[in-house]
Amino acid sequence: MNILMMTNTFTPHVGGVARSIEGFTVGFRRRGHRVMVVAPEFESMPEEETDVIRIPAIQRFNGSDFSVALRMPGSASEAIERFKPEIVHSHHPFLVGGAAVRVANRLKLPLVFTHHTMYEHYTHYVMENSEALKKFVVNLSTNYANLCDMVFAPSESVADLIRERGVTAPVEVVPTGVRLERFAKGSGPGFRAVMDIPEDAFVVGHVSRLAPEKNIEFLTEAVAAFCKVDARAHFLVVGSGPSEKDIRKIFSRHKLADRLHLAGTLNHPVLVSAYRAMDVFAFASKSETQGMVLTEAMATGVPVVALDASGVREVVADGRNGRLLSDETIETFSSTLQWIASLPADRREEVSRQAEETAKAFSMERSADKALAHYEALLTKQPIRRDEPYESWTGVMRRIKAEWELLTSVVDAASASLREPEEDKT
């Protein structure tokens, strides 16, 4: 089978969507299928890539670490036609996602869309606190999903949510699998030595993009509160992003700077050693569709303490492989970390074993086989006719563009009026 993946983010960008696409691509190719990926250019991307088409893009859009793809050049369209795809799989409802609809329409192919992201949690990268924009992106992703022959949801809770929002296309739950073989080795003690973490420390770990949508400020305050009551506690953070400065400030304010260890962005195999240096994985994000880092931590036997949220509750079984918290308070989160730290050795070993068993249930082998089965089922059917829905979609896009221009002009005008008094003083 020839599978065309079309995405706004891909390696070397570090993030859940990029890692998901990379993982499925490897899984499909191992099973003898061909995969072509269409993605934006990124800084430091590999010079040699197999079956990857890069589209010119604006780097570090609006101060983020994302690229924004520009129009797909004719050479990319020609390469796609030479590839002769049988399935088009889109990973975003805008930018390259729009091109995916056009490719599927032109070549009369089934179109699959993975609803990776709750996009309303990311609108602050474009406009601060805009409820109107949040509503737009929810409508945009819902309308886009209804242009597709099938929608993959990474978790049951996301499947339920998007159906409630009006997705009528068939929805199937296909989580991103963890590549278990990549987490079988690694040296926790070695990583602790490199990061100057004491051998006998109790290490709370976290891996993510360090950004507001990950609820980093709450998480850091909760871990700091735990560190203040447990002298053995240290905080190991893997990742980078705009919230890194907030993590530093919070630990400095609590006079705990010597127990904070910022490792930056890590890739395999060093990332595995970082996970193995942790005693518990702490997670407070409420914007996930699937907690990939949770299954990665569990693959190394690390239990998880997390807030109850979509994409998390499917992974964390309270009291078995970690703790799932419905009470979002610093006191509860901190005391739960203390509960993990206080477990007797045999109980901690059992929780660790249950974590590893959970990771096996989310293996990439299972997820790749599930996705391929859905692809094959689609190939036995006629792709849906999306001419009229596509016209409606383009109409929605035009309206969103008009509203967006209106919103940005209002914000620009307000910003200018606020600046004027300062400018008058000079």
pLDDT in tens for each of the 426 residues of the chain? 999 999 988 876 567 788 899 999 999 999 999 999 998 887 777 778 889 998 876 544 444 444 455 567 678 889 999 999 999 999 988 778 888 998 999 999 999 999 887 655 554 445 455 666 667 778 888 889 999 999 999 989 889 989 999 999 999 999 988 999 999 999 999 999 999 999 999 999 999 989 888 999 999 999 999 999 999 999 999 999 999 999 999 999 999 999 999 999 998 899 999 999 999 999 999 877 778 899 999 999 999 999 999 889 999 999 999 999 999 999 999 999 999 999 999 999 999 999 999 999 999 999 999 999 999 999 999 988 766 555 555 655 565 555 545 544 544 444 443 344 444 433
- CA torsion sign for 76, 77, 78, 81 is positive
Q: Could you give the domains of the chain? A: 2-177+366-418 (3.40.50.2000), 180-362 (3.40.50.2000)
Q: Which residue has the tokens 């979002």?
A: 328
Q: Which stretch of DSSP H or E encloses residue 322?
A: strand 322-325
- What order do you get walking across the sheet with 280-283 strand by strand? 260-264, 233-238, 202-207, 280-283, 304-307, 322-325
Whole-number pLDDT of residue 135: 75
Q: Give Cα 339 distance to the centre of its chain.
A: 29
Q: What is the pTM of this model?
A: 0.80
Q: Which residue has the tokens 């406009």?
A: 127
Name the residue among 182, 241, 248, 249 with its Cα closest to residue 213. Answer: 241
Whole-number pLDDT of residue 40: 84
Tokens (6 digits) for 234: 């240290």
CA–CA separation, 139 and 287 (whole Å): 17
Reported residue count of the chain is: 426
Beta bridge partners of 319: none
Please, are residues 265 and 207 in contact by the beta-carbon 8 Å criterion? no
